[in-house]
Structure 1
Amino acid sequence: MTTIGETRSPHIPEEIWLHILSCSRDPNFLWSVCRRVSSSFRSHVDSIFRDKYIKESDIVFNDSIQERCVRYFRVETTFDRFSEDKTRVYFKDTTEEEEEDEEEEEDDEDVARHPIRIENRHVPRKWKEAMQYYTGPPFGSSNPKELGRVDQPPYMIRVRRDLNDTEIPGLEIDYEKREISFDWRAMFSMFFREEEYVDNKIKIMAQKASVDALHLQALVDSGGMDLIDAMQRLVMRVKTSEDDARRDARRKRLNDKYIAHGLSGYDPDDFAEEEKEILDQMAASRLTLDRIFMSDDEEDGQEGGDEDSESDEWEDMDEDNQ
């Protein structure tokens, strides 16, 4: 007779697990939690990302976030293809051909009224300069190993509704073709490692906020504070907690990068103004993404959806934040 201790959970076919995991709309949960369960779960999550989430990702290059720059270029790369062994992914900017076709139909007077299109002819050079400014060596340096401004990546990575400027491991760029390739597994690991760090910090801060909420409730009950004021204070505290968590996660990443290059570490006081500008820009972009995907779950079953409108809003996001 089988005892309770000997009872085993029934075997679930791999196809069922794959279907269950694919129903999740949270790529961070899939990559940070589910992928660590077992080798089979890792394979399932990789398949989901290859088939779905990598096609819901964008990497936008734009040097306007660097302190020395005006907006010289904007390159919006999206999924194009995988390498034969599926270890690398290629993202490509498909907007150039449309702009060039339009430009050929305009005379010199029309072109003169579109300075961004004139600058667009110099995108490969400007893009390369922005990447060198980021990776190093610094302009004028003769030391090829000297670190660039790693605190100012000239790009933003979007994975569905999550956005950050984490490192892109194995990044290779064909500036003329406006095409990039990289190790997609390593990129997602870097990206979601930081998201997980933020989530854990927020959970800790939320526990402290619950204590604050009880204190504020007591003040309201005793007449020492208006209910609206208490609610506003609590909401602001929660919002500040998320901002602080993202700032700390980013600083940790940069500090690790500096130490890996034999430097003493990243000192945020040296780059306070630039840091605030980039953090504010990303916060504004995340708010836009939240608005775009707010009703995503409700529309998930509708045919057609609003993919075009979501794409348009993402393309305009950077211009709204300038």
Structure 2
Amino acid sequence: MTMNRIRRHTLAALACAAVAAFGTSAALAQTWPSRPVTFVNNFPPGGPSDLLARSVAAVLAETLKQPFVVENKAGAGGNVGAAAVAKAAPDGHTVLFGIDTAFTVNPHLYASMPFKPDDLKPVIIMASSGLLIGVNPGTGIKSFGDLLAQGRARTLNFSSGGNGSPGHLAAAVLGSSTPVKTTHIPYRGNTPAVTAVLSGEVDGGILATPGMLPHVQSGKITPLAVTSAQRSQLAPQLPTVAELGLKALETQVLYLVMVPAATPDAVVQTLSRGIAEALQRPDVKERLKNLDLFFEGLTGAAATQRLTGMNARYGEIVRNTGMKAN
């Protein structure tokens, strides 16, 4: 057989394979979902990502005519749940619904990861939020100036929702960008981290606003600032860290959906479109506001670019602060 004929046969075979793959992908998209879909949330129940997952799941069950079930797989800063999805069949029936830290912080924080970054790909970055910096009133801290003064004189204990969580990252940045001396105390989720602030087990925390706000309103937690670029929708009276001259402390949490990398693009597009439409429902928009989340709606290359940029920034922070998965 001549070289030209070999090339023609090879090209024909590749073309057939591409057509077959496209046909399989298109067919899967038309039948997806063919059975219940599991949203794996990689943090404990009751946190913002869990509550948002349940709101979106209820809408998708209605519009896509299959049950969408939320399953919490917490542990190792979100790595446990992310790894479970990375190892699942790439057919769109097992989906990660969580936050960005398993992809932007943990690869720099943990000596080894149970999955590779390219094992998963983004479906959509749904929303973003900041955190609320709050302290136990027993500390006597009433302003950010008080925090700086006390933090120079003694080490302050800050709780977080776990190693690699946004609160862990923010506390490390606080300790590296100001004279405040901090010790990180990890808990299994935002709720027990807030409870630790309430009880005085720790001095304070940099945690999700919705979990802190009821206790701020009751006077049991003293609020100091928020870490978002814009003021909180729930507590607009609080300054941002940038307004206090601490732009370096600005921290965002991204709420995202990821699937195994080999999941057909047609399925990803159907899922991202369904989630984007769900986020525009009045009841879900109200849920976003009540969780102090700002709509993002990033898909495809834009979502990948955003995660890549945050990964680079947080990698530098982890290196510069000496953060540890203690």
Shorter-chain TM-score: what band?
A: under 0.3
TM-score between the two structures when normalised by the length of structure 1: 0.24
The structure whose Rg is larger is 1
TM-score between the two structures when normalised by the length of structure 2: 0.24
Q: Whose helix fraction is larger, Structure 1's or Structure 2's?
A: 1
- Structure with the greater relative contact order (CA < 8 A, sep ≥ 6): 1 or 2? 2
Q: Whose strand fraction is larger, Structure 1's or Structure 2's?
A: 2
